[in-house]
Amino acid sequence: MTRSVNLAELTDLETFKVIAVPLVTREGTLAFADGVPATIAGVTLPTALTAEWCESQGLKTKVGSTAVLRNFSDTTLVLMVTNGNETTLEQWRQLGAAVAKVQPKTPAALLVSLTPNATLAQSSQAITEGLILASYDYKKPESAATASLVLVGEGAADAQADVARGVQIGSLVADGANWAKRLVDMPAQDLSPKAFATFAKERLEGLPHVDVEIWKDTKIAEERLGGLIGVNLGSAQPARLVIATYTPPSTANQPHIILVGKGVTFDSGGLSLKTGEGMMTMKTDMTGAAVVTAVLAAAAELGLPIRVTAIAPLTENMTGPAALRPGDVLKIRNGMTVEVLNTDAEGRLILADALSLAAEQNPDAIIDVATLTGAQAVALGDEIGAVFASRDDLAAQLLAASERSGETMWRMPLHPSYESHIDSDVADIKNIGKAGRAGSISAALFLQRFVNGLPWAHLDIAGPSRMDATRGYYQRGGSAYGARTLVEYLIERSRQA
C-alpha cells in the first residue's frame, strides 16, 4: 500500500539504485539545486546543464518536469525541475510522486535542499507525502518499499530533528489519506454503514487518549436523529453514527474542534432516483466520514495539544418499500422541521443531525466535510474544493492550510439573500434550493441553520473527492480530499493555542 520514509546520510547514497536530485531553473536555464554535491555515488554530475544536453535527456525547463537519467553508470537518477524563485511545497510533493512511480519496489534516495519559501522540514514533509500518496494502489495493499531523504547544502546539519518531525507528519498525513482512499474505493456492498463503523473503530481504538462510540438503531432513535433515520428508511442496511474524541492529557484551555463528515455509503438518490450514470461513482459519497476519521487518528498519533471530535453519520440512500417520499417532513435533532422535496438531497439531512450534536458541545469551531452537491463540481471542477465559512478568520485559516497541503480550495459566499431559496410552505425549511441556481450555496445555507451561530466552516468536495484519471500523486478513484488540509489546519490551530 505504501512506502515508508526515513532519513539517510550522503555517504549511504551509493547503496541506492534510484537517486533523485532536485533541479532549479535560474533565468530560464536549469541548474542543480544548492548543495547538490558535484559527485554522487561515485558519479560526477555534469557541471553545466546545457539546453542541448537537457533536451537529449528529455528534460524540460517547465516547472515540475521530470526525467530519468540513465547514462551515469548503473545508477538511476531522477531529476525534477523546480522554479528557483517560486519553489512551492507542491513541487516537492510532485518530486516525491515522480520518484515513487519510477521503480515502485526499489528503495530510493532523494536529495533535499533548501529552497526559497520553505524550511527543510516543510520540504521533507511534502516530499514524504508525495512518495506515500503516489504509492497507493487499491489492488496491491501489501506492497511496500522504503525511501530515504538525504539533506544537502545549507542548514542540513542543524535540521535533522525538525526534519524527522516533518517526515513523521508527512507519513501520518499521507498514510491517513491513503487509509481514507481505501474505504472510498471499496465497493458499497462491502462498506455498509456497519462495516464502516467497524473499520473506523479498528482504526481509532487503542490510539492514545482516543475514545470511540458507535451509535446503533436504538441509540439513534433515542437521540432523535430524525434526518439520519429518515434517509435510512429505504435501506436494508441499518444506520450508524461514529463519534470519536481525542482529548490530549494537558488540560489548560485547549481549543475544541469538531469535525463532521458525510457518510452516505451509497447514494442511489432514493425515490428521487439518480440516473444509472449518475450513481456509478456514488460509493464515493462517504468521503467526508472517512476523511474526518483519518484526521482524528492523525491528530492523536501526532499528539497535537488540541481537542478534536469527529462525528460521522452513516447510511445508504436507497429506494426500499419504506423509503422516504418527496413531500415528507422530518424533525431534526435540534427540533427544526425539514420538508424533503428531493430525496437525493440527503447529505444535508444527515449532516443536520450531526451538526446539531456538534453545536450542543459548544466547541471553538465546527468543520464539516461533504460530497454535498453536484453544483460544487459544476462551479469548481474536480481540482478545487469549496470552502464556506461563517467567519473570515476560520476561512483564512482553512485557505492557508489548503495552500500548504496542495489541496486547492476556494471560498464561496453564504449569501444571506439566498436563504429565501430554502423557505418551505409546511416546515421550517425545505431540503432543496432554486432549480439550477447556486445549489452549493443553498445547501451550505441549509447546514448553517444547525450550528447555532458557532464558528463553522463547510467543505463541499463533491468535485475533487474522486479523480477521473491518475495524475501526480493522485490515482483514478478516491482522493480523500480535505484530509491533508484539515491536519494542517489542526497543527497550526494547536500552535496558536
Nearer to ligand BES, 311 or 372 (CB): 372
Question: CB under 5 A: which stretch of 1-9, 37-45, 282-290, 411-419 binds Zn ion?
Answer: 282-290
Contact status, residue 316 vs residue 232, Cβ threshold 8 Å = yes
37 binds ligand BES (CB under 6 A): no
Residues that bind Mn ion (CB under 5 A): 267, 344, 346
If binding is defined by CB under 6 A, does position 368 make contact with ligand BES? no
Q: Which is nearer to ligand BES, 130 or 439 (CB)?
A: 439
Q: Is 174 helix (H, G, I), strand (E, B) or coil?
A: helix
Residue 442 · residue 434 · CB < 8 Å: yes
**Least CB distance to Zn ion at residue 354 (A):** 14
**Among Mn ion, ligand BES, Zn ion, none, what binds residue 129 when CB lies within 5 to 8 Å by partner kind?**
none
Amino acid of residue 490: L
Q: Out of 224, 274, 331, 411, which one is annotated catalytic? A: 274
Query: Could you tell me the three cell numbers for 306?
Result: 488540541
Of 246-254, 291-299, 307-315, 372-380, the window that binds ligand BES (rule: CB under 6 A) is 372-380
Positions in 283-342 near Zn ion (CB under 5 A): 285
C-alpha separations of 324 from 219, 220, 271, 447 in Å: 21, 17, 7, 20
Q: Based on CB atoms, which residue is closest to ligand BES, 377 or 387?
A: 377
How many CB atoms lie under 10 A from the CB of residue 167?
Answer: 24
Tell me whether residue 408 is exposed, middle or buried, using C-beta atoms within 10 angstroms of its C-beta: 0 to 12, 13 to 18, 19 or more. middle
Contact flag: residue 460 with Zn ion (CB under 5 A): no
Work out how close the CB of 379 gets to Mn ion at its nearest, in angstroms, rounded to a whole number: 17
Question: Read out DSSP for 59-86?
Answer: --SSTT-EEEE--STT-EEEEEEEETTT
Of residues 405 through 444, those in contact with ligand BES by CB under 6 A are 432, 439
Answer positive or negative: Cα dihedral of 355, 358, 359, 364.
Answer: negative
Is 3 among the catalytic positions? no
Residue-wise DSSP of 98-166: HHHHHSTTS-EEEEEE--TT--HHHHHHHHHHHHHHHT--TT-SS-EEEEEEEEESTTTTT-HHHHHHH
Kindly report the number of other CB atoms within 10 A of residue 86's CB atom. Answer: 12
Q: Of these, 185, 267, 301, 316, which contacts Zn ion (CB under 5 A)?
A: 267
Kindly state whether residue 342 participates in binding ligand BES, applying the rule CB under 6 A. yes
460 binds, among ligand BES, Mn ion, Zn ion, none (CB under 5 to 8 A by kind): none
**Is 101 an annotated catalytic residue?**
no
**Active-site residue, selected from the candidate residues 307, 333, 348, 466:** 348
The least CB distance from residue 267 to Mn ion, in Å, is: 4
Comparison of 82 and 272: residue with beta carbon closer to Zn ion = 272
371 binds ligand BES (CB under 6 A): yes
Q: Which residues of 375-396 are buried (b: 16+ CB within 10 A; e: fewer)?
A: bbbebbebebbbbbbbeeebbe
Residues 266-325 that bind ligand BES (CB under 6 A): 267, 285
- Per CB under 6 A, the list member of 175, 346, 353, 368 interacting with ligand BES is 346
Q: Which residues contact 335 (CB under 8 A, 6 or more apart)?
A: none
Q: Taking the complex as a whole, how short is the minimal distance between the CB of residue 374 and Mn ion, in angstroms?
A: 9
Amino acid letter for position 387: V
The H or E element spanning position 441 is: helix 439-448
Binding residue for ligand BES (CB under 6 A) from 377, 389, 409, 412? 377
The residues that are catalytic are: 274, 348
Residues near ligand BES (CB under 6 A) are: 267, 285, 342, 344-347, 371-375, 377, 432, 439, 462
> Which residues lie near Zn ion (CB under 5 A)?
264, 267, 285, 347
